[in-house]
Structure 1
Amino acid sequence: MAEHDEVSGVEIELEHVTKKYPGTREAAVDDFSMVVPAGKIVVFVGPSGCGKTTTMRMINRLIEPTSGRITIGGDDALKLDVDTLRRRIGYAIQQAGLFPHFTVAQNIGVVPGLLGWDKKKVTNRVEEMMDLVGLDPADFRDRFPRQLSGGQQQRVGVARALAADPPVLLMDEPFGAVDPITRGNLQDELLRLQTELKKTIVFVTHDFDEAVKLGDKIAVLGNQSSILQYDTPDAILANPADDTVAGFVGAGASLKQLTLLRVRDVELKQDALTAGLDESPAEVAKQLDAQRRHFVLVLDSRRRPTRWVHRRQLASATSLATAGKPLRDIVSLQSTLQDALEAMLAEGGSVPVTGARGEFAGTIELDTVISTIQQLREDHADDHTEEASV
């Protein structure tokens, strides 16, 4: 799928939206107003119980507002038929919420099926979505959710939410239940998809680092979904609006700048020796010896990195498909430099970087990240010097 130049998302506007539950004195959400720009990711971040999930769920009317107005692409959401509204809005939640007795293909095809698409169109769309989220249809189409890892289930959840090509995607702590490495990979995957799809995404999290990584804008919310600050991640990091927001930013704001810088912003090394899965281990050993190198990076038929193999492991290897060790952690061009640093610590050295469709794009080295941190610190010190002299 080629990258879209046009935005497929639409603007969402919430005007004086309030939710008051019967028998309670205080509103759960009180007089909330916000414009979510078309084609952008807006992250709601705040403590548990502050109302962020309630606010998001009012957009697709899983929770009905008590008062106020919500428009989606100019249409009044409260006047639309609720089923019609929800089919225009993708919804992804923690632990994916997949139907356990449906296969992966059936889960992804649910909404297109409800919309009356013919079987062939649904099948084609399911395959396209699986490919888009990095799951091989031949391997995963007929599996059931229990046969998938947590990360794979979340990918299916995102594919299902996007299957009918809705302009709006709501995501409620979708990556909260997986391990940190998988979580980082899923975040990268979402950012990669967004560069292609340009949906309007409202994303709820309690993790400020996740908000900084994913958000075009962040809304830091307090009690009753009061908006403490609504701005770009770098503006919030540089100038927290008050002590509560500063508490969210926390210590090490300069290190958090690493979550604003992407791997695509730094220079990648292009000198790694690579080999295909079907190449002869003996031939690859000769190349390593000739170039006085110790490692080869093995790529699959789609040029996706799969494993590192050390020279000494080639002597007894019958195939590159099983030699060496599988890659535990790969970063993409969308990854943050913090992700890259964590991956290097896990891998114990340089880490392969992948492009838009998982293909090998180069490697990132520890020296590159360290020199970038040093440059950030120098820039930070210069900014403080300028401020002091004003």
Structure 2
Amino acid sequence: MADRTVTSAEGATSIDGAVSGVEIELEKVTKRYPGTKDPAVNEFSMVVPAGKIVIFVGPSGCGKTTTMRMINRLIEPTSGRITIGGEDALKLNADTLRRKIGYAIQQAGLFPHFTVEQNIAVVPGLLGWDKKRVEARVEEMMDLVGLDPKEFHGRYPRQLSGGQQQRVGVARALAADPPVLLMDEPFGAVDPITRGNLQDELLRLQTELKKTIVFVTHDFDEAVKLGDKIAVLGNQSSILQYDSPDAILANPANDTVAGFVGAGASLKQLTLLRVRDVELKTDVPTAKEDESPAAVREQLVKRGKHFVLVLDSRNRPSRWVHTRELGTAATMATAGRPLGDLVSLQSTLQDALEAMLAEGGGVPVTGPRGEYAGVIELDTVMSTIQKIREEHADDHQEEDQS
């Protein structure tokens, strides 16, 4: 479908009503705090492309969060100019501006005495949406971030895991369909596996929504995984390098940037490659939860297979079952063992490798809405690693000869 472009902070609205991202431009933006000699942020200039994820990465205290918060004026700039979709952000009412910009932070920042539904509905309510529209949007957002509305609708934040809270935080940030999303270390307080899953979820959402996202982190690996572009920042938010992840990995601008890249740059290439970039195994036996265990067992025996992957009513992988477990199983929905780690087409090969090491074998891969897409196997990832190493060895040989 063709898009109708609106040159404003409202974003570009397509025929189906979805709002995509807009360009953000910061021109010589400075922040000085009273009583300090040097500015916290000094003449920061950058163009954030529409519909892309731009990562601010740098050491603690360098000014990256301050810079990001000036975009929605949670911190007021001392001087400079900020435009969002061509509109001067500093001339808008600050509350009006913030309602047009999604904001997600570490530990979600949910209102503890609001239910999941009430938390997600906050900004649409402030914007005066009618009750039916708000209810429909809440359900849509919960489904989008992978939370069953029937199960989580009335829960309170204290009744959710850390990862579930972060999903609600992202749903709340997106509820009013803003063109811009600011994310301040949103996944920093959860365990590594949950963090990887949330990163995958963000990438999945972005393929559908095409928002303009500014994301702050101190984790360079996270920056490489998520960013279309990375801004490596130094003191006072000075831009040490602003480029694509592969360009920064290949050619760090200086020693400071090289320090962020760290050792094992070649293995970091696994973070640039996605599961969608490699071949998946698609001949793994599958069965639906409502099928007869005896019939499934008969088919496995005919094919000489020992395992079957069970899919739910929405075609999402749920369990592995061995043939010996089918003889006594009452239903496919309860047979075998629930899946541990899953990866999506958006996951990196590094994520896939870690999941396979945890699971001890191939791992099911899911598509845009959690549907089964195939299985990724260890041999596939290992052959890709070998290819990367050979390419880097060739590169080093060419450098030595030149």
Q: Shorter-normalised TM-score: what interval?
A: over 0.9
- Please point out which of 259, 265, 272 is paired with 2:277: 265
Q: How many residue pairs align between the two structures?
A: 389
Cα distance in 2, alignment partners of residues 144 and 3 from structure 1: 36
Alpha-carbon shift at residue 70 of structure 1 (Å) = 0.9
The answer (yes or no) to whether the contact 1:10–1:72 under 8 Å persists in 2 is yes
The answer on 1:297 being equivalent to 2:309 is: yes
Q: Could you say what secondary structure the match of 1:270 adopts?
A: coil
In terms of mean alpha carbon deviation, does 17-26 or 296-305 score higher? 17-26
The answer (yes or no) to whether the contact 2:20–2:211 under 8 Å persists in 1 is yes
TM-score (norm 2): 0.94
Cα distance in 2, alignment partners of residues 387 and 72 from structure 1: 43
Cα distance in 2, alignment partners of residues 46 and 375 from structure 1: 31
Cα distance in 1, alignment partners of residues 256 and 330 from structure 2: 59
- Please point out which of 58, 83, 97 is paired with 1:46: 58
Given residue 279 of structure 2, which amino acid in structure 1 is its aligned partner?
E
Percent of pairs with identical residues = 83
Matched with 1:351 is 363
**Can you list the C-alpha shifts for 1:287-306, whole angstroms capped at 9, x where unaligned?**
22222222111110000001
Moved over 4 A (4+): none
Matched with 1:190 is 202
In terms of mean alpha carbon deviation, does 157-166 or 23-32 score higher? 23-32
Alpha-carbon shift at residue 388 of structure 1 (Å) = 3.4
**Can you list the C-alpha shifts for 1:247-295, whole angstroms capped at 9, x where unaligned?**
1100000000000000000000001111111112222222222222221
Q: Could you say what secondary structure the match of 1:356 adopts?
A: coil
Q: What does 1:321-336 correspond to in 2, within 5 Å?
A: 321-336=333-348
Alpha-carbon shift at residue 7 of structure 1 (Å) = 7.7
Q: Could you say what secondary structure the match of 1:153 adopts?
A: helix
Given residue 259 of structure 1, which amino acid in structure 2 is its aligned partner?
T
The answer on 1:147 being equivalent to 2:182 is: no
Cα distance in 1, alignment partners of residues 128 and 266 from structure 2: 51
The answer on 1:365 being equivalent to 2:377 is: yes
* Structure 2: runs of 5 or more not aligned: 1-13
Matched with 1:111 is 123
**Can you list the C-alpha shifts for 1:294-334, whole angstroms capped at 9, x where unaligned?**
21111100000011112222222212222221111100000
In terms of mean alpha carbon deviation, does 370-379 or 54-63 score higher? 370-379
Q: Could you say what secondary structure the match of 1:349 adopts?
A: coil
Matched with 1:76 is 88
Q: What does 1:20-59 correspond to in 2, within 5 Å?
A: 20-59=32-71
- Please point out which of 104, 107, 116 is paired with 1:92: 104
Cα distance in 2, alignment partners of residues 365 and 47 from structure 1: 36
Alpha-carbon shift at residue 3 of structure 1 (Å) = 12
Matched with 2:235 is 223
Cα distance in 2, alignment partners of residues 10 and 387 from structure 1: 41
Matched with 2:5 is none
The answer (yes or no) to whether the contact 2:19–2:179 under 8 Å persists in 1 is no
The answer on 1:102 being equivalent to 2:110 is: no
Q: Could you say what secondary structure the match of 1:78 adopts?
A: helix
**Can you list the C-alpha shifts for 1:165-221, whole angstroms capped at 9, x where unaligned?**
100000000011111111111111111111111000000001000000000000001
The answer (yes or no) to whether the contact 1:12–1:73 under 8 Å persists in 2 is yes
Matched with 1:232 is 244
Matched with 1:384 is 396
Cα distance in 1, alignment partners of residues 15 and 208 from structure 2: 4
In terms of mean alpha carbon deviation, does 379-388 or 155-164 score higher? 379-388
Given residue 316 of structure 2, which amino acid in structure 1 is its aligned partner?
R
**Can you list the C-alpha shifts for 1:95-143, whole angstroms capped at 9, x where unaligned?**
1111111111111111111101111111111111111111111111111
Cα distance in 2, alignment partners of residues 216 and 384 from structure 1: 26
Given residue 385 of structure 1, which amino acid in structure 2 is its aligned partner?
Q
**Can you list the C-alpha shifts for 1:68-94, whole angstroms capped at 9, x where unaligned?**
111111111111000110011000001
Cα distance in 2, alignment partners of residues 341 and 379 from structure 1: 20
**Over aligned residues, Cα RMSD in angstroms?**
1.6
TM-score (norm 1): 0.97
Cα distance in 2, alignment partners of residues 197 and 186 from structure 1: 16
In terms of mean alpha carbon deviation, does 144-153 or 333-342 score higher? 144-153
- Please point out which of 114, 130, 133 is paired with 2:145: 133
Q: Could you say what secondary structure the match of 2:110 adopts?
A: coil
Given residue 256 of structure 1, which amino acid in structure 2 is its aligned partner?
K
Cα distance in 1, alignment partners of residues 78 and 335 from structure 2: 61
**Can you list the C-alpha shifts for 1:11-35, whole angstroms capped at 9, x where unaligned?**
1111111111111122111111111
Q: Could you say what secondary structure the match of 1:329 adopts?
A: coil
The answer (yes or no) to whether the contact 1:7–1:39 under 8 Å persists in 2 is no
Cα distance in 2, alignment partners of residues 140 and 312 from structure 1: 36
The answer (yes or no) to whether the contact 1:7–1:38 under 8 Å persists in 2 is no
Cα distance in 2, alignment partners of residues 172 and 298 from structure 1: 38
* Structure 1: runs of 5 or more not aligned: none
Cα distance in 2, alignment partners of residues 332 and 112 from structure 1: 30
Cα distance in 2, alignment partners of residues 149 and 291 from structure 1: 41
Cα distance in 2, alignment partners of residues 362 and 181 from structure 1: 21
Given residue 154 of structure 2, which amino acid in structure 1 is its aligned partner?
D
